[in-house]
Structure 1
């Protein structure tokens, strides 16, 4: 099975959005550089609606490209699904999406898209790993990611840290409680307006 990575863009004080789910300047770096995430005419990651796609610094492009190309399945919560309308059935990375929700998929919504709706985080991670095979499962940070981490289902934590302080908002780790050990970062990439970090999740001795 592939690696399960909890991931999101995050402020330096640990928030992925404000109380109203507004990301403010957190995603500005996706559009402030001169290097497309994909090379040539590949529009796979162009979800900007402007036809120009994401353009970031060269360092960020290399990091994000490798990251996104490794993903087989994305796991997301219902709040994010509703906010982006499930990316209209075409996720920015991977071939499959698993949505953690007590509500079913909206009737008639993109029947061709490989989206599964499950109401349990462990079951969602299990289905996502099955669908991803040897590829990465990317779990969106927040409540779903925090629950997966607390359940011991996350192998790595990936954070794209943006130099902004929110003061309050939606926490990267959701409402997780207790201490959870991470190893020293094994990936540190400095882009323009963002710092990419990846930590392996520490395993406590039993």
Structure 2
């Protein structure tokens, strides 16, 4: 059975991007070391510290599929059909693109509602992890009671404004004690289990 885990580089005040959708200093840790980490697709290599590289490889190896939103899909042009993590992805959108240059790409699906997106991703992932993009998608999956864990690549900066990891106010939610803590140059990698899941139909 797939598990659903959100993950994002995040400022101390909870932002995952600046107002113009650029990461600013939040991605500096991707070039903070000497360990070359190759991406799928046509993005250049990362250069991570040994601690961040081990963390990244473990995350990548755990993944079976991703769920992303339309904003991220449009900003990246759908990674031209091949996500840097090298896994299939499902795009949650009310309006799938009628024409997209890479529409024939294998491993890319579109879903118009959350249950369909999660179901498709889970079917692809099998017993692996479904990575959930930050922002509206992570917020919806959390509100639906389907999020198993929250991962934070915590960068020691305050952005003051921008795009938040979770976009809507909701009831207080206590996460469990961190299941993983990795301290690295320019970032601390954290993973928290979500308590008291109430899955749809469960």
Over aligned residues, Cα RMSD in angstroms?
A: 1.7
Q: 1:106 to 1:54 in 2, by over 3 A?
A: farther
SS at match of 1:36: strand
Give the TM-score of the pair, scaled to structure 2: 0.91
Matched, 1:145 2:138: yes
> Which consecutive residues of structure 1, in runs of 5 or more, have no partner in the other structure?
38-42
Aligned to 1:18: 18
Decide which of 152, 167, 177 is 2:160's aligned counterpart.
Answer: 167
Count of equivalent residues: 197
From 80, 99, 111, the counterpart of 2:72? 80
Equivalent residue of 2:158, what SS? Answer: coil
1:177 has 2:170 as partner: yes
Question: How far 1:23 moved relative to its partner?
Answer: 1.1
State the match for 1:125 in structure 2: 118
Tell me how far 1:44 sits from its aligned partner.
Answer: 4.3
Partners of 1:46 and 1:118 in 2: CA distance: 23
TM-score by length of 1: 0.90
The whole-number CA distance in structure 1 between the counterparts of 2:26 and 2:87 is 25
Mapping for residues 9-88 of structure 1, pairs under 5 Å? 9-37=9-37, 43-45=38-40, 47-49=42-44, 53-88=45-80
Q: 1:200 to 1:125 in 2, by over 3 A?
A: same
Which segments of 5 or more consecutive residues in structure 2 lack a partner in the other structure? none
Q: 4+ runs of 1 displaced by more than 3 Å?
A: 43-49
Q: Given the alignment of the two structures, is residue 102 of structure 1 paired with residue 102 of structure 2, yes or no?
A: no
> Do the aligned residues in 1 keep the contact of 2:40 with 2:86 (CA within 8 Å)?
no
